[in-house]
Amino acid sequence: MLVSLHIENVATIKTVDIDFDRGFTVLSGETGAGKSIIIDSVNLLTGEKTNRELIRSGEENASVRAIFTGLSDEKIKKISDCGVPCDGELCVIREISTSGRNIIKCNNRSIPTYTLREIMADLITIHGQNASQILMSGDSHITYLDSFAENREVFDRYTKLFNELNSAVNEQRALIMDEREKQRLTEDYAKQIKEIEDARLKDNEEEELTASRARIKNLEQTAKYVKTVYRSLCQSEKAPSAAERINNAINALNALNESEQSEKITEQINRLTSYRYELIDIAEDTLSLIADIGDDPSEALDNIESRLSVITHLKRRYGADIPEIKRYCTDIKEKLKKIKESDEKIAELSDVIRKTKEKTLKAASELTATRKAAAERLSELVLKELKYLDLKKVRFDISVEKKKQLTANGADNVTFLVAANTGDELKPLDKTASGGELSRIMLAIKSVFAGKDNIDTVIYDEVDAGVSGATSERIGNRLHSSAKGCQVIAVTHSAQVAANADQHILIYKTDVGDRTQTFCKTLDRDERVKELSRIIGGVKISQTVLDTAEEMLKNNGN
């Protein structure tokens, strides 16, 4: 429900704060006091187009803020799905400026106008002589009828079957193609698979080749150092290497040991032999640094460049890197397999579609039956409400007609039809002339739907315009009773309507300095008597009028 409304710099309002209670609230005041400004401000919050003329003269910006509490889990989920964090309370702010800037925030999260409309659609709606209403839209009638029919179980069963049917149809469409296209794809996929598999790609191959290429390009300096190490330690054509010199020393010690037979000499021979092997190992390990280069570095570099060229070509066609190329190959193998199996799968899906469609059509018929039965009951109830509201000549009916094809909502077109005068043709609600009469038609429908249409707050703008006292009293009774299912706020000029309210807010204006300002005040009981007396009696209020106002409040339990 709407618990508070803050308005700044809108028309004659400098700043206003209104706190709303549950149940039925009325806004009253003299003509021109600013009641329509409140409606215009709320319209901004519902996503209506901005109008710079709303900004108070002399100000650069205008803003409206509303706080909603007690949100249902369903609404919390919808708000969260729109990207707005919500834990059960929602703060909505809209600011407009003379420069054309439009700022919208929900719970401190900036959102576009279309998201605001989506969020607010389930929170608040306005019915008035010139306001657009959700109920006026023909697209919403089927939703209203379903909520009245309470056919959720039947609807969910239909939805499940409809989704299964759609899934099977879409899958079959994806498989169906002419033979020429099938042959072309088969050949293309086969060539691509062969090209990728012939390349025999290895993970990390590109990185390793790139590193080898960089190493080979520095080959001259690298090879020079490697060969110097190898010749010095292991083998050299120009001068004896360290290993050769140690070997000569070992031979000399062996010869010496033949004559001396000394354990010390034997130990030295063993130590030198160990050193010789270690030096050879170091030399060979160093030489391995250029082992993959071969005898011809230019040839090795050409081989690397050629391999990298193959990889680059495959990357250009099939993926950003080798793993992605391999994944692509796996995917087209699966696609090729599906093409080869498509004929069999198409036949199988045809059978699935036929059986599922039979079930879906049956479920659609069951859904239609619930709607037609509900439409008959709903029409009777709305007509009863219309008569109660002194619209005895107005006719109301609900058309449930079969569509040419199944849709997500079933097989029905649902339209609320109204004929405002005797002899008039029944026409869709959105084609009916606007005015006070239409507002009462809306009230009749909303009274029947009270608490069932999932709207938390309903605002009526002068629904009692142009009606007599007796009818106003009935309107007031209906507004009060419909507030048991949701929060109802009404702008009124009728004392009979105002006397039915649980909360009464006075809208008035006065001069502050050299400017006129609009203010709001929640009235206590004595103040309500005075306001009702003003509405009844005009400028001069007699004791009789005061007594009448007092009696009206008592008769309505206030």
- Cβ atoms within 10 Å, residue 114: 10
Please write the tens of the pLDDT for every residue from 47-67.
988 888 899 999 999 999 999
455: left (phi over 0), alpha (psi -120 to 50) or beta: beta
Helix ranges (DSSP H) in 389-492 = 436-449, 469-482
Q: Name the residue type at position 25.
A: T
Element (DSSP H or E) covering residue 417: strand 410-419
Could you tell me if 283 and 234 are in contact, meaning their C-beta atoms sit under 8 angstroms apart?
yes
Sign, CA dihedral 322-327-331-336, equals positive
Q: How far apart are CA 103 and CA 377, in angstroms?
A: 45
Eight-state DSSP code of residue 288: G
Going from the C-alpha of 538 to that of each of 203, 427, 518, 521, 531, the distances in angstroms are 91, 40, 20, 20, 10
Could you tell me if 521 and 508 are in contact, meaning their C-beta atoms sit under 8 angstroms apart?
yes
In the block, tokens 């030399």 appear at 283
pLDDT tens for the chain, 558 residues: list them: 999 999 999 999 999 999 999 999 999 999 899 999 999 999 999 998 888 889 999 999 999 999 999 999 999 999 999 999 999 999 999 999 999 899 999 999 999 999 999 999 889 988 765 444 556 667 788 988 998 899 999 999 999 999 999 999 998 887 777 667 888 888 999 999 999 999 999 999 999 899 888 877 776 677 778 888 888 888 877 788 888 889 889 888 888 888 777 888 888 888 999 998 999 899 888 887 776 665 567 777 888 899 999 999 999 999 999 999 999 999 999 988 888 877 788 888 999 999 999 999 999 999 999 999 999 999 999 999 999 888 888 899 999 999 989 999 999 999 999 988 888 899 888 777 555 667 778 788 878 876 566 778 989 888 887 777 788 889 999 899 888 878 999 999 999 999 999 999 999 999 998 899 999 999 999 999 999 999 988 667 889 999 999 999 998 888
- The pTM is what? 0.62
Count CA within 13 A, CB hemisphere, residue 300: 19
Q: How far apart are CA 429 and CA 137, in angstroms?
A: 8
Nearest to 486 by CA among 153, 142, 127: 127
Q: Which residues of 222-237 are buried (b: 16+ CB within 10 A; e: fewer)?
A: bbeebeebbbebbebe
Q: In DSSP terms, which residues pair with 163 in a beta bridge?
A: none
Q: Which residues of 37-55 are buried (b: 16+ CB within 10 A; e: fewer)?
A: bbbbbbbbbbbbebeeebb
In the block, tokens 């300095």 appear at 513
What pLDDT, on the 0 to 100 scale, is given for residue 158? 96
Residue-wise DSSP of 291-306: GGG-S-HHHHHHHHHH
Q: How far apart are CA 232 and CA 368, in angstroms?
A: 98
What pLDDT, on the 0 to 100 scale, is given for residue 8? 96
What pLDDT, on the 0 to 100 scale, is given for residue 409? 93
Nearest to 97 by CA among 48, 64, 55: 55
